[in-house]
Amino acid sequence: MVIQEASDGAPDRSPGAVDGRPRAAVVRDSLGVGVAVGLSGFAFGVTAAGAGISVLQACVLSLLVFTGASQFALVGALAAGGNPFTAAAGAFFLGTRNAFYGLRLSQLLALPRAVRPLAAHWVIDETTAVALAQPDRRSARLGFTVTGLALYVLWNLTTLLGALGAEAIGDTAAWGLDAAGPAVFLALLAPMLRSTTERAVAALALVLGLGFLPVLPAGVPVLIAALAAPAVLWMKGRRSPEGERS
């Protein structure tokens, strides 16, 4: 209830609030997503520790990067011996999708310019999904805020606990914890493989990523694998000249 009162200060009887959802329902959905995903910080803390990242470094990543796939990609690339520039480039490319979330959210939430630099930090998959699922602006703002807050607090807390825990038990490989990273990537990837285009991109990226691994410096094969996206788009465009269906 407290969270409801502390929302964004939008007028209670704004146009559209008539068919809007009750605040309690928005808060419940937002907390559900925030808690479920926030707990995955454990997996990140553990993976980071297994990759030889210090507890402080893992916590700084969760506090300041706060976009899971990029964080996993960075520690994975560093663990594989990648140099800081290729490792950061992979993490950056994974983060570019957040720009497109921001585009849609800026119209939906209509945030004041002064608030945008703060709100930007919470523009990620989950907050976007919850905000876009709401029927009106007031609910969308509330959903974005509650999801962002719950996720941010839990993600950082569980990152710390996971990193401390993994460090305490020593050999993370003996406990199978080195499988957490790839399992996370698979779980993020699976729902994206909807059409043949996505599957073709994934298959080509897999071949490129593994094929170049033995011959190129660590981190570079992933960036080459990223070229699977434009390559498949280009091949599709050649097959059907009007291929720009959106």
Partner 1 sequence: MNVWIAIGLTVVGCYAVKLAGLLVPAGALERPVVRRLSALLPVALLAALTAQQTFSTGHELVLDARAAGLAAAGVALLLRAPFLLVVGAAVVVTAAVRALGG
DSSP structural state of residue 66: -
Would you say 88 or 164 has its CB closer to partner 1?
A: 88
Phi/psi region, residue 134 (left: phi>0; alpha: psi -120 to 50; beta: rest), is: beta
Could you say whether residue 240 binds partner 1 (CB under 8 A)? no
Which of the stretches 4-12, 15-23, 146-154, 182-190 binds partner 1 when contact is defined by CB under 8 A?
182-190
Residue with structure tokens 């969760």?
A: 62
d(CA 231, CA 246): 18
Residue 78 within binding range of partner 1, rule CB under 8 A: yes
Element (H, E) at 227: none
Binding partner 1 (rule: CB under 8 A), the pick from 84, 135, 169, 235 is 84
153 or 236: CB nearest partner 1: 236
Q: Which of 26, 49, 61, 160 binds partner 1 (CB under 8 A)?
A: 61
Query: Which residue, 27 or 43, is less far from partner 1 as judged by CB?
Result: 43
Write out the binding residues for partner 1, residues 21-60 only, by CB under 8 A. Answer: 36-37, 39-40, 42-43, 53-54, 57, 60
**Counting contacts by CB under 8 A, is residue 238 touching partner 1?**
no
Q: Which of residues 184-213 bind partner 1 (CB under 8 A)?
A: 184-190, 192-193, 197-198, 201-206, 208-210, 213
Pick the binder of partner 1 from 28, 81, 169, 196 (CB under 8 A): 81
Provide the 8-state DSSP code for 190. Answer: G
Q: How many CA atoms lie within 13 A of 114 on its CB side?
A: 0
Contact call for residue 226 and partner 1 (CB under 8 A) = yes
Q: Within 142-181, which residues bind partner 1 (CB under 8 A)?
A: 173-181
Q: Does 65 bind partner 1 (CB under 8 A)?
A: yes
Please report which residue ranges of the chain form alpha helices under DSSP H: 2-5, 23-38, 41-50, 55-64, 68-79, 84-95, 97-109, 116-119, 125-132, 137-169, 180-189, 196-211, 220-226, 228-239
The least distance separating partner 1 from the CB of residue 150, rounded to whole angstroms, comes to 15
CB atoms within 10 A of CB 145: 23
Is residue 2 part of the contact set for partner 1 (CB under 8 A)? no
State the chain's maximal CA–CA distance in angstroms.
Answer: 63
